[in-house]
Amino acid sequence: MTDTKQVEEKVTIKGWIALIVLCLMFSGVFKDFDGPLKALDFLNLSGAFGKIGETSHTFIGSGGAGAKEGFVQALSLIPSVAFAVAMIDVVTELGAMKAAVKLFNPILKPMLGIPGECGISFVATFTSSDVGSVMTKEMYDKEEITDKQRSIFAAYQYAGSAVILNTINTQAALLPIVVLAIGPIIVLLFLCKVFGANLVRFVLTLKEKKAGGK
Amino acid sequence: MAEVNNVAVKPIKKSIIEVFMSGAKKGFYIGVEQILPAMILGYVIIQFLKLTGLIDVLSVVFNPIMGVFGLPGESIVVIISAFFSKAAGAASAANLYGEGVLTAAQCTILVMPCMLMGTLVGHFARIILVANVNPKHRGLMLAVPIIDSIVGMIVMRLILLATGLM
């Protein structure tokens, strides 16, 4: 995996800062801050729609139903999604994902029982459903991971798939409603994914032991 | 033609502003091509269930099961929609919140299954089959998102209860 090493070496200070800023933006810690730091919060930067006339309603209005209501609701979500995707692309460009690879490389083995070489595809699965699965297949074909490791890694990817991007995109309708910031929700989803993958790890290890016992 | 030549000669490196703008554009298309259809699906499912009165039946039948997670019976609709698509699940939950059926805290709990077991069949093809997982392990794979969702809902509920947000 010479590729992995090359990428690892290129982690810059800029990449680390970008990663930290993205985490802070989504963490919600600055949401109710007094002073200029509140400009670091994703929801604060997303802003709000104006109210129509003297009513308390935005352009979505009230009392809508069915396909028409779904359409208007979807329209109202587009600004945040466009902004979030733009931010993720910017921090990726600045090298945040490379920093994340460096961060996760050493802990993949204890956390999921898969080799550190999976770091790039592991980080890619934060924002893409498809890159990880293709890379998993390739790594098995090149004999870099075992059959069991392939199943563990695939189980991690399957539940919730691209956990960061999907939370922003698919849960957009719920994000203005939920009582937690998006950051803690993503962390919790991530922990559940790791739990599920370890369940597979546990079951397959148990099976191996049984087979070995015979 | 001159423009085409220019593009080819220029280095591919884009400025941060250009990256932001193309990302925002990508986000716009994600909204129109992926979220909007799922939202219409989610809202039509709920409207259908409401017009037929089926939602009241589902609510009564599933009240005991969903009650384990601190949710009303109607939230089974969210789980069913999420099964087809994560965004449709979220749309159904948002709709029920608007109707006053779900509280904000209950919506927070429902993010867990909407994400973790959302698009269950679609992603089985996109991830498990593409990764070419050993066919012997595939049944286990299918169980993982469902177990994750149950654990996620319970943990989220406990967190909300512990922090006083519910």
CA distance linking residue A168 with residue A126, whole number of Å: 11
User: pLDDT digit string (tens) for B71-102?
Assistant: 999 999 999 999 888 999 999 999 999 989 99
Q: How many CA atoms lie within 13 A of A205 on its CB side?
A: 10
Which residues on chain B are in Cβ contact (under 8 Å) with A158?
Answer: 123-124, 127-128, 141, 144-145
pLDDT for the residue A109: 94
Which residues on chain B are in Cβ contact (under 8 Å) with A190?
Answer: none
* Angle in degrees, 0-180, between the axes of helices B86-98 and B36-52, rounded to the nearest 10: 50
Q: Is the pLDDT score of B31 beyond 70? A: yes
Q: CA nearest A94 in B: which residue?
A: B16
Residue holding tokens 């370890």? A198
Among A51-65, A157-171, A200-214, B6-20, the minimum mean pLDDT is found in B6-20
Q: Is the pLDDT score of A199 beyond 90? A: yes
- Asked if A94's CB is within 8 angstroms of B123's CB, the reply is no
pLDDT for the residue B13: 78
User: pLDDT digit string (tens) for A102-148?
Assistant: 999 999 999 999 998 899 899 989 988 888 889 999 999 999 999 99
CA distance linking residue A94 with residue A92, whole number of Å: 5
In whole numbers, what is the pLDDT of chain A averaged over residues?
Answer: 89
Q: Is the pLDDT score of B7 beyond 80? A: no
Please give, rounded to a whole number of angstroms, the shortest distance from the CA of B57 to a CA of chain A.
Answer: 20
Cβ contact B126:A129 at 8 Å: yes
Please give, rounded to a whole number of angstroms, the shortest distance from the CA of B17 to a CA of chain A.
Answer: 8
* Triad A103, A105, A108: Cα angle to 5°: 110
Predicted structure pTM score: 0.86
